[in-house]
Amino acid sequence: MPNHLSTLRCPGPLPGAGGDGSLRALWVARLLAADLAAVRFIARSAKPAVGRAFAIVISKLGNGWLYPILGALIFGWLGSAGIQVAALAGLNAVLLHCLFPLIKRRIGRPRPFRVDPHLRSLLAVLDEHSFPSGHTMTLSGVLVPIVLVLPATALSAVALLCCMAWSRIATAHHYPSDIFGGLFMGVVLAYPLSACLLAVW
């Protein structure tokens, strides 16, 4: 199979493989085609000026501007006890970003707007690879300790993640599978680590 996961053409039977290999390749091609079709559909919501502006603002906040705002809210809610939550959120983000570039380079998936010339990138990209979504990964990793300490923020956290996910697809920077990959990475690393350290602290 090709290295780039965004290839939409079925590669055909694998060397030495029987019907199962061909069937697997066919289903992979169909899933990748559905992934790109979802980007095309969601990107339409960013064509109006309001949708485009919202997508750009949310994506740019995810570049780093969002986290001082979340930090201020944490200290506003918890006072000095917010130091633990902020430290955990920062630790999660650092650990995730140690793994993130290795996975991106290994997968090497081109971004949707590179694959489909009809899709337009709404802002500059931070790197050329698509999988996983670093914005969704980082945000989920940061939100996990906040929600563990303040369960009442769970719905707000989900809404914020949904906005970020939408913006990353609407700007044609990511596929839905990139979003789920980033969310999976963020939660799988951040939840056990945060739960254990909060129990100790």
Question: What is the per-residue pLDDT across 92-144, written as a single tens digit (0 to 9) for each?
Answer: 999 999 999 999 999 989 999 999 999 999 998 888 899 999 999 999 999 99
Distances (CA, A) of 113 to 41, 123, 124, 171: 13, 11, 12, 9
Identify the pLDDT of residue 21: 60
Identify the pLDDT of residue 4: 46
Those residues of the chain that have pLDDT short of 50 are 1-19
Tokens encoding 149: 């300490």
Spatial CA neighbour of 137 closest among 90, 184, 71: 184
What predicted TM-score, i.e. pTM, was given to this entire model? 0.84
Cβ count near 52 (within 10 Å): 18
Identify the pLDDT of residue 13: 39
Cβ count near 16 (within 10 Å): 6
CA atoms within 13 A on the CB side of 168: 29
For the chain, give the percent of residues with pLDDT over 90.
73
Spatial CA neighbour of 125 closest among 185, 168, 186: 168
Identify the pLDDT of residue 22: 83
